[in-house]
């Protein structure tokens, strides 16, 4: 029936047959791409069940994106049954839903080390498999990338299918529309699958979500319409009535045909299709392949499908920590507050004190900790969808209108909005506060999500101010400082547990000033934000070895405390800067400039400088402590480097 593209020899195929006859696991028979085509059609449901059980088991141990993956099992199977990988290309938007694709392309064993250091990534990676044709991680890129591949294919006279799979949440991102706009006049085949589960991480928001919901709820009505049609056609004068309906249909088509929005944009719309019905999906893909245009298949799916806790709590199971399968409860109860919790609490207090305070998130109300603010001040909370660029300019507008906007955003996602920060916020010196969470290494999400560039990309922008807190109390103090500040200001803080050390050092935040925590001779450690904690450790070891060691909490990266740094160079033998940011454009580079100036001014006794930064490379996924050791920014490696110098 279906062509077998597997490249394994006949002998192995025989083994498959024997296994099949013995009624063994279907999943075991999938060892590489296209093996799924060896499975009997009647067994598709069983295979889907096995995949779900496998995903639940593995993610319950390692953590990972459960809900989106459970919802995309049949969709992925249908794609693999309909396409020929790796020749045909599937681009997974965001990429967090690509686990079944990984299983079906021979990477089942990789799930034992899913998202672990040295193990398999939780996102598509070209370096991992030739069946991953495009790396993703940030949302709404798949249609642009797919269209590019379509053009490359045609220019090279090649012949394969390109399919971009995008979720309804990701369809709130502007890039998706830029790409569809570009694809509207396409006269060649390009398939987009809209995986519509009616959810982003949290509830999806905005007009497109409302529109898709309309189609979703219209489905029974359309079914009824078909029923009416059949009944009419059976009656005596039915044909005439149907003809009349057909004539008015074109003017009324906006009311009765789903997907007109896409059709009007120049895309062919197919659907809605039940995204858990493999045969229906395969039929739709077959039809789509025939179109000489961009064609969008609208598949309705359910996030968390097949695992009741994930169906009931889609937001919690979007990115799950290890959990007990029976109950769905996390294996570890978090005892210590993280920086997001601190931000969340302070935001609620500030919201009570000042009615001008408004909060903005780009589809991350839970992740950024704004949920509580939302509950308390719904009218002053804005979830704008996965639209970081818009979020920033929207905040600039709010500031222009006299409000005090706080944009809560992850460091890596704010990269998107560089121009908006520069053009709409900073040129006009708008008082917008950026609460930048997940700044520094984030761990298991890897390269695309590490927040290691913000000091660099923000530093280069005139009028921008940047702070980083050493501990949880300082985050609170900085936030209070920021909302009263008359210009753009960013506070960057890391993922995870909020440091509760150095509580006794809580001097007021002074504009552009660092904080001297310990003052001694020999070595001066100047640490930014999260690295103060590491510096405390480094200092303890240096003291044990008999060195005098100052510790300065930088507090401000921009404006940098030049006076303090010049003094540090004049009064120590070695200055060590520490930051969780890449070298280029970071704090250490600024300190080196000051050192150069001091040296040019002819000062004789000038300390040497060691800059501890993230190297000029992308940092993979894995446990943050392991990653820090690997790239040499943990206490042990910093000490080694200090001893090399002294
Ligand atoms: C630019 C950007 N902002 C935010 C995120 C965080 N994020 C990851 S998945 C997701 C929701 C995606 O929703 P949808 O596309 O519907 O996929 P689903 O998880 O529902 O399958 C968000 C907001 C991101 N990956 N990229």
Ligand 1 centroid to 169 CA: how many Å? 6
Residue 449 near ligand 1, beta carbon < 6 Å: no
Select from 94, 138, 175, 408 the residue to mutate for testing ligand 1; criterion: most ligand atoms less than 8 Å from CB: 94
Identify whether the C-beta of residue 140 lies closer than 8 Å to the C-beta of residue 173.
Answer: yes
End-to-end CA distance of the chain: 73
Check the CA dihedral 581-582-587-588 and report its sign. positive
Ligand 1 centroid to 134 CA: how many Å? 17
pLDDT of 12: 42
CB atoms near residue 372 (< 10 Å): 16
Least confidently predicted of 241-245, 539-543, 612-616: 241-245
Which pLDDT band, with edges at 50, 70 and 90, does 448 fall under?
very high
Residue 303 near ligand 1, beta carbon < 6 Å: yes
pLDDT at 222 over 80: no
The pTM of the full predicted model, rounded to 2 decimals, is: 0.91
Least confidently predicted of 211-220, 323-332, 412-421: 211-220
The token pair at 258 is 């789903």
Which is the closest atom of ligand 1 to the Cα of 363? 23
**DSSP letters spanning 383-404:** E--S-HHHHHHHHHHHHHTT-E
pLDDT of 617: 94
Taking residues 504-520, report their average pLDDT.
97
pLDDT at 326 over 80: yes
Residue 363 near ligand 1, beta carbon < 6 Å: yes
Region of 497 (left: φ > 0; alpha: ψ -120 to 50; beta: rest) is beta
pLDDT of 19: 53
Residue 294 near ligand 1, beta carbon < 6 Å: no
pLDDT at 21 over 60: no
CB atoms near residue 353 (< 10 Å): 11
Residue with the nearest Cα to atom 17 of ligand 1?
167
Fold of 10-312: Rossmann fold (3.40.50)
pLDDT of 230: 59
Tell me whether residue 533 is one of the annotated catalytic residues.
no
Cα gap 239→232, rounded to integer Å? 7
Place of tokens 């971009």: 164
Fold of 339-492: Rossmann fold (3.40.50)
Select from 386, 411, 420 the residue to mutate for testing ligand 1; criterion: most ligand atoms less than 8 Å from CB: 386
Which pLDDT band, with edges at 50, 70 and 90, does 224 fall under?
very low
Residue 201 near ligand 1, beta carbon < 6 Å: yes
Residue with the nearest Cα to atom 4 of ligand 1?
386
Percent of the chain with pLDDT over 90: 86
Cα gap 24→18, rounded to integer Å? 9
pLDDT at 13 over 50: no
Identify whether the C-beta of residue 107 lies closer than 8 Å to the C-beta of residue 128.
Answer: yes
Q: Which residue has the higher pLDDT, 619 or 259?
A: 619
> Burial level of 191, CB count in 10 A (0-12/13-18/19+)?
buried
Identify whether the C-beta of residue 323 lies closer than 8 Å to the C-beta of residue 60.
Answer: yes
Identify whether the C-beta of residue 326 lies closer than 8 Å to the C-beta of residue 308.
Answer: no
Select from 75, 169, 444 the residue to mutate for testing ligand 1; criterion: most ligand atoms less than 8 Å from CB: 169
Cα gap 166→93, rounded to integer Å? 5
CA angle (64 as vertex; 62, 66 as ends), nearest 5: 120
pLDDT at 197 over 60: yes
Catalytic residue, chosen from 416, 539, 590, 628, is 416
Cα gap 442→137, rounded to integer Å? 13
The predicted-structure confidence for 558-593, as pLDDT tens digits, reads as follows 999 999 999 999 999 999 999 999 999 999 999 999
pLDDT at 1 over 50: no
Residue 96 near ligand 1, beta carbon < 6 Å: yes
| CA count, 13 A, side-chain hemisphere, 541 | 14
> Burial level of 598, CB count in 10 A (0-12/13-18/19+)?
middle
Which is the closest atom of ligand 1 to the Cα of 196? 16
Percent of the chain with pLDDT over 70: 90
CB atoms near residue 584 (< 10 Å): 12
Which pLDDT band, with edges at 50, 70 and 90, does 292 fall under?
very high
pLDDT at 15 over 50: no
Which is the closest atom of ligand 1 to the Cα of 139? 26
Domain 515-645 has CATH 3.40.50.920: yes
Select from 64, 91, 170, 298 the residue to mutate for testing ligand 1; criterion: most ligand atoms less than 8 Å from CB: 170
The token pair at 417 is 């909005």
Pinpoint the residues of the chain covered by CATH 3.40.50.970. 10-312, 339-492
Give me the numbers of helices (H) and strands (E) for the chain, helices first please.
Answer: 24, 17
Residue 167 near ligand 1, beta carbon < 6 Å: yes
Strand-strand pairing, 556-558 and 523-527? unpaired
Identify whether the C-beta of residue 357 lies closer than 8 Å to the C-beta of residue 366.
Answer: no
Give the mean pLDDT of the chain: 92
Tell me whether residue 495 is one of the annotated catalytic residues.
no
Residue 197 near ligand 1, beta carbon < 6 Å: yes
Max avg pLDDT among 93-107, 247-261, 328-342? 93-107
Q: Which residue has the higher pLDDT, 187 or 22?
A: 187
Cα gap 265→82, rounded to integer Å? 27
- At 469 the three-state DSSP class reads coil
pLDDT of 630: 96
Residue among 595, 628, 627 at smallest CA distance from 611: 595
- Sheet holding 162-167: strands in order across? 89-92, 162-167, 190-196, 294-300, 268-274
Cα gap 383→361, rounded to integer Å? 5
pLDDT of 24: 77
Strand-strand pairing, 404-410 and 433-437? parallel
Residue 199 near ligand 1, beta carbon < 6 Å: yes
pLDDT at 518 over 70: yes
Tell me whether residue 388 is one of the annotated catalytic residues.
yes
Residue 413 near ligand 1, beta carbon < 6 Å: yes
Identify whether the C-beta of residue 396 lies closer than 8 Å to the C-beta of residue 421.
Answer: no
Looking at 484-634, list the stretches that DSSP marks H as alpha helix, in order from N- to C-terminal side. Answer: 531-544, 562-571, 587-600, 624-630
Ligand 1 centroid to 96 CA: how many Å? 8
Which is the closest atom of ligand 1 to the Cα of 171? 15
The predicted-structure confidence for 358-412, as pLDDT tens digits, reads as follows 999 999 999 999 999 999 999 999 999 999 999 999 999 999 999 999 999 999 9
φ/ψ of 608, rounded to 5, equals -75, 165
pLDDT at 22 over 90: no
Residue 94 near ligand 1, beta carbon < 6 Å: yes
pLDDT at 251 over 80: no
Identify whether the C-beta of residue 550 lies closer than 8 Å to the C-beta of residue 523.
Answer: yes
Catalytic residue, chosen from 303, 380, 492, 590, is 303
Ligand 1 centroid to 266 CA: how many Å? 26
**DSSP letters spanning 318-370:** TSBPSB-TTT--BSS---S-BHHHHHHHHHHHHHHH-TTEEEEESS-TTTTT-
- At 162 the three-state DSSP class reads strand
Cα gap 533→525, rounded to integer Å? 11
Identify whether the C-beta of residue 529 lies closer than 8 Å to the C-beta of residue 439.
Answer: yes
Residue 386 near ligand 1, beta carbon < 6 Å: yes
The predicted-structure confidence for 267-291, as pLDDT tens digits, reads as follows 999 989 999 999 999 999 999 999 9
């Amino acid at each position: 029936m279906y062509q077998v593209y597997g490249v394994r020899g006949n002998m192995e195929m025989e083994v498959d047959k024997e296994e099949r006859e013995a009624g063994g696991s279907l999943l075991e028979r999938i060892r590489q791409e296209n093996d799924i085509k060896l499975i009997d059609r009647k067994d598709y449901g069983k295979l889907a069940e096995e995949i779900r059980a496998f995903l639940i088991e593995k993610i319950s141990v390692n953590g990972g994106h459960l809900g989106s993956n459970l919802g995309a099992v049949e969709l992925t199977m249908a794609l693999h049954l309909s396409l020929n990988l790796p020749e045909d290309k599937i681009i997974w938007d965001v990429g967090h839903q690509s686990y079944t694709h990984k299983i079906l392309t021979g990477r089942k064993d990789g799930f034992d080390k899913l998202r672990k250091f040295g193990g398999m990534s939780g996102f598509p990676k070209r370096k991992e498999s030739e069946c991953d044709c495009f790396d993703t991680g940030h949302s709404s890129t798949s249609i642009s990338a797919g269209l590019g591949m379509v053009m490359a294919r045609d220019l090279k006279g090649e012949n394969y299918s390109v399919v971009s799979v995008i979720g309804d949440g990701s369809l709130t991102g502007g890039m998706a529309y830029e790409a569809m706009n570009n694809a509207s006049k396409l006269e060649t085949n390009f398939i987009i699958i809209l995986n519509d589960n009616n959810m982003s991480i949290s509830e999806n928001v905005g007009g497109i979500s409302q529109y898709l919901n309309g189609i979703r709820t219209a489905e029974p009505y359309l079914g009824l319409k078909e029923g009416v049609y059949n009944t009419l056609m059976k009656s005596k004068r039915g044909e005439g009535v149907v003809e009349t309906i057909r004539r008015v249909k074109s003017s009324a088509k906006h009311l009765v045909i789903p997907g007109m929005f896409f059709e009007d944009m120049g895309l062919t719309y197919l659907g809605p299709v039940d995204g858990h019905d493999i045969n229906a999906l395969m039929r739709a893909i077959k039809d789509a392949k025939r179109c000489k245009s961009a064609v969008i298949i609208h598949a309705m799916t359910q996030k968390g499908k097949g695992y009741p806790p994930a169906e009931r709590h889609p937001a919690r199971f979007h990115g799950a920590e290890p959990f007990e399968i029976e109950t769905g409860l996390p294996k570890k109860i978090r005892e210590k507050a993280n920086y997001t919790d601190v931000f969340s609490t302070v935001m609620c207090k500030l919201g009570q004190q000042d009615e001008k305070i408004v909060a903005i998130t780009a589809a991350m109300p839970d992740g950024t900790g704004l949920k509580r603010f939302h509950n308390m001040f719904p009218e002053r909370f804005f979830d704008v969808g996965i639209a970081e660029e818009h979020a920033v300019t929207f905040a600039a507008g709010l500031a222009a209108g006299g409000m005090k906007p706080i944009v809560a955003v992850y460091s890596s996602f704010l990269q998107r909005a560089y121009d908006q920060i520069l053009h709409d916020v900073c040129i006009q010196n708008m008082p917008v506060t950026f609460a930048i969470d997940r700044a520094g290494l984030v761990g298991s999400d890897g390269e695309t999500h590490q927040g290691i560039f913000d000091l660099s990309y923000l530093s280069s922008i005139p009028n921008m101010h940047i702070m980083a807190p050493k501990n949880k109390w300082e985050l609170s103090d900085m936030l209070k400082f920021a909302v009263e500040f008359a210009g753009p200001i960013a506070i960057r803080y890391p993922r995870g547990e909020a440091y509760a050390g150095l509580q006794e050092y809580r001097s007021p935040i002074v504009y552009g000033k660092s904080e001297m925590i310990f003052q001694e001779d020999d070595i001066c450690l100047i640490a930014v934000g999260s690295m103060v904690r590491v510096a405390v450790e480094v200092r303890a070891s240096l003291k044990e070895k008999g060195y005098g060691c100052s510790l300065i909490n930088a507090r401000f990266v921009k404006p940098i405390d030049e006076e303090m740094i010049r003094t540090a160079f004049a009064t120590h033998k070695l200055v060590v800067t520490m930051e969780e940011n890449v070298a280029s454009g970071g704090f250490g580079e600024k300190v080196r400039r000051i050192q150069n100036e001091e040296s040019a001014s002819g000062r004789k006794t000038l300390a040497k400088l060691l800059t501890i930064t993230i190297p000029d490379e992308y940092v993979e996924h894995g446990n943050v402590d392991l990653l820090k050791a690997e790239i040499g920014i943990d206490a042990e490696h910093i000490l080694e480097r200090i001893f090399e110098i002294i």
